[in-house]
Amino acid sequence: MNSRQYIALEDTYGAHNYHPLDVVLTRGEGVWVYDVDGKRYLDCLSAYSALNQGHVHPVILEAFQAQASRLTLTSRAFRNDQLPLLYKELVELTGYEMSLLMNSGAEAVETAIKLARKWAYTVKKTPRHQAEIITAAGNFHGRTISIISTSTEPFYRDDFGPFTPGFASVPYGDANAIEAAINENTCAILVEPIQGEGGVIIPPDGYLRQIRAICDQHHILFMADEIQTGLGRTGKMFACQHEEVRPDVTIIGKAMSGGFYPVSAVLADKSLLGLFRPGEHGSTFGGNPLAAAVARAALRVLVEEGMIENAVTQGDYFMEQLAEIPSPHVREVRGKGLLIGVELKPEAGGARRFCEAMLQEGILAKETHENVIRFAPPLIIDRQTIDWALDRIRDVLTRR
Ligand SMILES: *Cc1c(COP(=O)(O)O)cnc(C)c1O
């Protein structure tokens, strides 16, 4: 079958809840992917940062295959010999005393929301079912009903109410607005250190530190959604570390498995995660031995192969070069590490057409929020490959 035939099948029989670029991929290796017609592309999306380690990383593959042939699922009714090792390695890597394993990012965010409420009722003594969590406008935390209840994006929520109560919304990047929104029932603030889906929005310097101070002062939990920004993407293990801030709860997912398998986690100290009692929360697949083995390998290569340092070096270079492209369409280039957004002027006709043009040139990038092109290649990318990409990006941004 050729690309056209695959696309026709998909469009006929699959729900149209995505609007993918018309490229049908069949193989990936490192920063490169190949379509069914044999054409090669540079992956500049990395599955929304789930592929920080690159496609089919050989060390993760080996762990995946070995574990898949030994034991894949026990459920948490029984213990397995991989999960305890992952727990221990997460403590050493992140500095949090405990973790709770889930599968998708949205499930981990839901878990954090439940944890904050549990803490409110058992520790802070908030009246039952009155707890409130502050979230930021423009956020993306996933797609469940409760999570979209925090969304300010009409498209994500308009046809899906009624919504879950207990959330307040404030403008992103404004710590004073957070302080003003706090009331006696506020138990937590949930934010992304950089808004990825929101259009690579970087808050003002000091924002995260201010949130930390506000939380300490008002006895509120600071919960950071690092599902996209964490695990090296911005040049630190966690983006909050750019401000030397330690949230009470950090949520990770995506690159936790290097793209092999859905693995997510809520990280916190024992005073919080110790609040869950047996049976109160869970997941059949969460913390399964295959997921744990894959996550262990994915986290190990991230550190051992210097990917986080590489995100700094290559990210700085990539961003600097992008900013020098004399394009009439570009309004701003911004980012941290290898999470880069190129915001186009409103009159540029939207980011989609540039992404389609880059596709023709062998570069896969996706528009986010209509006018922003996100460049987020795997963290293993080298300078030579960035130069290759820049030649093509320059062409697309200046000639069209
Ligand atoms: C992708 C993402 C999620 C949701 O993760 P899923 O695995 O798609 O459920 C949540 N928060 C952020 C910041 C994300 O980028």
Q: Which of 140, 202, 249 to mutate to test the pocket of ligand 1 (most atoms within 8 A of CB)?
A: 140
Task: State if residue 247 touches ligand 1 by the CB under 6 angstroms criterion.
Answer: no
Measure the CA–CA gap between 355 and 208, rounded to whole angstroms: 32
Q: Which residue's CA lies nearest to atom 10 of ligand 1?
A: 141
The mean pLDDT of 27-43, rounded to a whole number, is 98
Paired with 367 in beta bridges are 373
Q: Which residue's CA lies nearest to atom 11 of ligand 1?
A: 141
- Quote the ligand 1 centre to 398 CA distance (angstroms): 33
Query: Are the beta carbons of 350 and 344 closer than 8 angstroms?
Result: yes
With cut-offs at 50, 70 and 90, classify the pLDDT of residue 399.
confident
Measure the CA–CA gap between 42 and 383, rounded to whole angstroms: 13
pLDDT of residue 149: 98
225 annotated active-site: yes
Backbone angle region of 374, left / alpha / beta, with phi > 0 → left and psi within -120 to 50 → alpha: beta
Measure the CA–CA gap between 266 and 226, rounded to whole angstroms: 10
Tens digit of each residue's pLDDT (9 = 90 or more) over 199-238: 999 999 999 999 999 999 999 999 999 999 999 999 999 9
The active-site residue out of 35, 43, 225, 248 is: 225
Nearest residue to 104 via CA among 314, 318, 262, 303: 262
CATH assignment, 58-304: 3.40.640.10
140 annotated active-site: yes
Measure the CA–CA gap between 9 and 389, rounded to whole angstroms: 32
The sign one gets for the Cα dihedral 379, 259, 280, 130 is positive
Q: What is the DSSP letter of 344?
A: E
Classify each residue of 39-66 as buried b or exposed e, where b means 16 or more C-beta atoms within 10 Å of its C-beta. eebbbbbbebbbbbbbbbbeebeebbee
Task: State if residue 192 touches ligand 1 by the CB under 6 angstroms criterion.
Answer: yes
Give the CA dihedral 378, 173, 98, 91, nearest 10 degrees.
50
Q: Which ligand 1 atom is nearest residue 49's CA? A: 15
pLDDT of residue 282: 96
Q: How is the chain split into domains, by residue range?
A: 3-57+306-399, 58-304
Q: Which residue's CA lies nearest to atom 15 of ligand 1?
A: 228
The active-site residue out of 35, 64, 140, 236 is: 140
Q: In sequence order, which residues have a C-beta less than 8 Å from that of residue 151 and are 6 or more positions away? A: 139, 140, 141, 157
Nearest residue to 296 via CA among 66, 48, 28: 66
For the segment(s) 3-57+306-399, the CATH number from 3.40.50.12500, 3.30.565.60, 3.90.1150.10, 3.30.70.100 is 3.90.1150.10
Tens digit of each residue's pLDDT (9 = 90 or more) over 331-383: 999 999 999 999 999 999 999 999 999 999 999 999 998 999 999 999 999 99
Q: Which ligand 1 atom is nearest residue 106's CA? A: 9
Fold equal for 3-57+306-399 and 58-304: no
Nearest residue to 104 via CA among 162, 52, 143: 143
Q: Over the chain, what is the mean pLDDT?
A: 97
22 annotated active-site: no
Task: State if residue 105 touches ligand 1 by the CB under 6 angstroms criterion.
Answer: yes
Tokens 């964490």 -> residue: 230
Classify each residue of 142-169 as buried b or exposed e, where b means 16 or more C-beta atoms within 10 Å of its C-beta. beeebbbbbbeeeebbeeeeeeeebbbb
Task: State if residue 227 touches ligand 1 by the CB under 6 angstroms criterion.
Answer: yes
